[in-house]
Each structure stands twice: as C-alpha cells, then as structure tokens.
Amino acid sequence: MMASLEPTAWRSVLLVLGLAASALCGPAAHAKTVVCPGPVTIEGIDISHWQAAIDWGKVKAAGKVYAIIRVSDGMYKDKTFDFNWPEAKKQGLIRGVYQFFRPGQDPIAQADLLLTKMGKLGPADLAPVADVEATDGKPPVTVAANLKKWIDHVQAKTGRVPIIYSGAYFWEDNVKSAAFVNHPLWHAQYCSNCCPNIASPWKSWKFWQYTSSGKVGGIAGNVDLNKWNGTQAALTLFAGGAAPPVCQPHCEGTVVVDKACGKGDCAKFGALCTTQVGGQPKCVSVFCVASPNVAPVAKDVCLPDGVRHACAANGDIAKKPCPAETVCVMVQGAAQCQAPPKPDAGPTDVDAGSAPDIAPKLDVPKPPDATVVPDVPAPPDVPGAADGPAVPDSAAAPDVAWVPDVGFGDAADADASDAEDADDAESTPDDVAVLPDGRAASDGAEVGAARGTPVADGAGGAGAGLGQDVVNGGVAASLQAGDAADPGCRAQPVPVPSAGVAAMFALAVWLARRAWGSSHRVRRLR
C-alpha cells in the first residue's frame, strides 16, 4: 500500500508530517500570546516629566479616565510627580504610579522612594507599577531577582498586587521569568490595528500602551495612550484593590446574581427570581408568576390588600384600582371588580382545599414597627427603578430589571427576627394578622395563609413549595370572625382585619393571660 504511492504523494505526506511536527515542536522560548482587546476598553494616559506642565482639567475633559504617573526613574525623582499626583486626583481621575525600574539599583531603595512619594493609596488608586524595560547591563537572573525584591516589598507595604509594565520582546529576552505571571500585565506595543502580542507566560493583559505619540487636550506634545481591557466599572473595582469578579447572571433561589456577582434577594420585595423574561434574572411578583420556571403572563390580580394590580407579560406589576364602590375579587383565576360583600355576613369557614386563588405565601416579614408602610419601591441601582432601598447583601446592586411598586406585603425591609407578641398589636396597621408564632405580620401572603388559602411558598423558600397548602387554625378563624365573608364567594380574598380589631384581639389575649396567670399562648397556625 505504502509502496504504491507516487513520489508526489510521498512528498505531500512528508510535507504534512513536517508541518505537523513544526507546529507541535516549534520554538517555545518566544511563544507569545495574541490577546485582542475585549469589546469595551477604557482610555487613559501615562505621563512623566516629558509631558511638562499638564492641564489636568483638560485631560479629564478629553475623556481620559485614568492616568499612570511616573514617580521616578530608578532613584531619580520625576520633578513633575509632586504636582501631577494630587492634580490627577483632584480631577477625579483614577490614578496610578509607576517607577522606571532600575535593575542596577537597590530595589528596596527604589520601592521605598515610590512608597514615600506616593503615600497611602485610596480606593481610586491603582496598584503601583514596575516599569520593566531596562536591564542596566544586568543578566536576566539579576533583573528577575531584583524585580522580585521590589514587588515583594511594595506588595507587603501596600497590600496591593503590583502591576508589571513590559513589552514581550524585552521580557522574554531580558527577564525570562514566569514567576510574575500572577501580576497584572500592562503591555507595551505600539500599533493601532493589531492585537497585543504579549509576553509569555501571561495569557491576558489589563492595560495596553498602544502609542507614544498620542495627542490629548491639556498636554503639549505627545503622550502615551493606553487601553484598559474592560469596562469602567471593572477598572474602578480593580483600582479598589480587588480583581473584578465576573459572574454569569442567574438566579440562586430568590436571589438575583448579576454579572458583577452582586446579589439582591427578590424575596425581600415579595418576589421571585426568574430568568423567564428575556433570559436575564429578574424579580417578578409572586402574584404574577406561580413559579420561577414559568414565564409571566399579562393578567389582573387581586392583592391581599384588596387592590387590583395588573401583571404585565414582562413581569412588571402596577396598580390598577377598581372603580369606586367596588372591590377586587378573584373569580376563576381572574380579577374582577365587584360590589363589596355585605358586612353582616357571619364568620367564614374557609376550606383550604376549596380556595382556588393563590395568595402566595411570602417570607416577607413584618415591617419593623408595624406602622403604616409605603408601597415597596424598587432598589435604586436597578434599571427601571426610580428610587428605593438598596438591595441588601450586595456589594454591587444587581444589574437586573426590577418589578416596580410590588404593592403587596408592604414589608420589604422588615426583619423576620423582629418577632413581637400580641402586646404590640395595638400599633399594627390595618392589614396585620397574627402569625403562627404569635408575631404580627403585615404581608399579604401570611395573611392569606391565615385565611387558609393555598400558599405559594416561592418567595421565601427559594422557589420551592409553590402551591403548598397551609391549614389555618383558630387564630385565623378568630381574625376572620368579624369579617364579611360571602359563603358564595370563597375565592374572594377576605378583607384583612382592621388594626382596631387586631389590637382588641391582642389586648383580650393579653388580659386573659394575665388574669388567669396561665401560660396560655395564642394558638399557633400550622
């Protein structure tokens, strides 16, 4: 078979084998990595006394976000640093300091010079930079050893991981070390329409100095221009001393996790986290979706406060009050505005199994003081939100859409640990019920539970237990005793007892306990 091949075919086989061998066994010493910039880069400059007097206001106006300022050339101080360093900060630029590293000079003395001139770093200050582009006639092993001393010293004193500035050819010819790969790389390569060809063993770069002949307002003559490989938010985080975390936006139960790994708990706003709207995590009212895995549909719903709300297909919910003299009633899953039930109706024996309408159970606790709580607003840093409380448990507000004016529960920031006994009932708002553990609560879900309606447990329970039935007990029955409940309208949400009723009930229990000296407690709901 092999012998039957023509000479030209043999040549082809050998050529292919040769190419494969050269690809596999090619020179590795200068195996550079080409890393193109990402879709978003941020422009900045680096300067030294070569830029002379700088008008920093104009630099800022020119759109430069950051400036990396030379402190010295080895032990030779840059005469303009003392002016440039504070001026850059005054203009609100993210600033950094670099030192032209001299392998032939004492690395600790150089580092100390930088540390002294730089002072304490602030949150908008980049980690110090070692500008590695000279050997001072030293061999690579000496350059690397002295650089390590410099880096260790600066890192120990600042707590920040120093950045290394260098070009691929210089590094691979004159440093030849893989010991610094964990340091952010500021790559130097002058080309406009190319991708950086960075030194081995780095696989990515943070900054790229792409020209030394840039023109920027406020600077006479040429100046080095740089790109930060990422967003301005990421740069700001980086300047704060921590590498920006990257997350795939998703839901963790009721918690929204955004791309910056910021978290916000939808349950605090009586909502579920779902990715069913546009594929991005979003808080959607539990009255609009029955499960995080179900896309919201446009419909009207009655909330436990008796106000009709409109759920949009995108999960937003907004008030849609019924006309005067009517109340919102759920009929076969649809909200209708009907005349209110007669007030003289007897107590309703609500059958949990027969109540088809979902008043989802929320793990939203009561308002702190059980006073009147305004509608739950959206968190402030969330697109589409006007204003409102910050999302707790989050370093950065989640970059997710939000359901404005959730409008139920009204207990967004309530603390479940604020358990109160019935003594506090006299200060409770209208829609306060007594929870199974005896505390007052104003969220509609728990009130719904007290009425024996099927309870959606998604909000507080990470989406689990949706549709779970909760059997109500005596307290709930007592609360409903004075309420108007039309036997023919079991699906209708029963109006929440007024504060006066709740207060009187609580007072009665308290007096009874005191009078009898017993340890009677409010019967708990199951």
Partner 1 sequence: MTRKLAPLLLTVWALVPARAHAADVDLATLARSAPVTALVQIDDPPSSVADLPVPGAPKAEPYQRYLRHFRLVRTLVGTAPPASLTVDDHAWRRQFAAHVACVTRASCTPPALDTYRGTLAREPAPGQQVLVFLRKTADGWELAADRALDDAARAAEVLAARSRP
Interacting residues with partner 1 (CB under 8 A) = 46, 48-52, 73-77, 100, 102, 104, 133-137, 212-214, 220-224
The minimum distance between CB 235 and partner 1, in angstroms, equals 22
At closest approach, how far in Å is the CB of 76 from partner 1? Answer: 5
Q: How far apart, in whole angstroms, are the C-alpha atoms of residue 269 and residue 307? A: 17
Q: Least distance to partner 1 from the beta carbon of 138, Å?
A: 9
Q: In terms of CB distance, is 83 or 510 closer to partner 1?
A: 83
In terms of CB distance, is 185 or 223 closer to partner 1?
A: 223
Closest approach of partner 1 to the CB of residue 48, in Å: 6
3-state secondary structure of 329: strand
Sign of the torsion angle spanned by Cα atoms 448, 450, 456, 457: positive
CA atoms of 214 and 226, how far apart (whole Å): 9
Residue number, 165 or 238, with CB nearest to partner 1 = 165
Locate tokens 């009907």: which residue? 338
Which CB sits closer to partner 1, 170 or 510?
A: 170
Return the number of the residue (73 or 446) whose C-beta is nearest partner 1.
73
Q: Is 325 left (phi over 0), alpha (psi -120 to 50) or beta?
A: left
Q: How far is the CB of 111 from partner 1 (least distance, A)?
A: 16
Longest CA span, the chain: 113
- Amino acid letter, 346: G
DSSP 199-246: PTT----SEEEEEEEE--TTBSS-EEEEEEES-HHHHHHHHTTSPPP-
What is the closest distance, in whole angstroms, from the C-beta atom of residue 50 to partner 1 in the complex?
Answer: 5
We find the least distance from the C-beta atom of residue 205 to partner 1, in angstroms, to be 19
Structure token pair of residue 180? 């610094």
Give SS3 for 500. Answer: helix
CB of 145 to partner 1, least distance (A): 17
Task: Count Cβ neighbours within 10 Å for each residue of 427-459 and write b for 16 or more, e otherwise.
Answer: bbbebbbbbbebbbbbbbbbbbbbbbbbbbbbb
Rounded to whole angstroms, how far apart are CA atoms 5 and 25? 27
Closest to partner 1 by CB, 10 vs 76, is 76
Least distance in angstroms from the C-beta of 77 to partner 1: 6
Q: Check: CB of residue 302 under 8 Å from CB of residue 335.
A: yes
- In the complex with partner 1, the residue whose CB is nearer, 51 or 274, is 51
Q: Which residues pair with 39 in a beta bridge?
A: none
* Nearer residue to partner 1 within complex by CB, 222 or 336: 222
Nearer Cβ to partner 1, position 102 or 268? 102
Residues in the chain: 526
Q: Which is nearer to partner 1, 12 or 116 (CB)?
A: 116
Compute φ and ψ for 184, nearest 5 degrees. -60, 140
Q: Considering Cα of 104, then 107, then 111, then 113, what sign does the dihedral take?
A: negative
Least distance in angstroms from the C-beta of 200 to partner 1: 21
Residue number, 99 or 472, with CB nearest to partner 1: 99
| CB closer to partner 1, 222 vs 427 | 222
What is the distance between the alpha carbons of residues 273 and 291, in angstroms, rounded to a whole number? 9
**Minimum separation from the CB atom of position 222 to partner 1 (A):** 4
Q: Helices 107-118 and 81-90 meet at what angle, rounded to 10? A: 50
Tell me how far, at minimum, the Cβ of 407 lies from partner 1, in Å.
Answer: 59
Write the CA distances from 354 to 116, 446, 487, 509, integer angstroms. 76, 18, 12, 30
Residue 311 CA to residue 298 CA, distance in Å, equals 5
Nearest to 173 by CA among 138, 140, 136, 200: 140
Smallest CA-to-CA distance from 433 within 490, 477, 394 is with 477
> Of the two residues 20 and 75, which places its CB atom closer to partner 1 in the complex?
75
Give strand pairing partners of 434: 440
Shortest separation between residue 315's beta carbon and partner 1, angstroms: 53
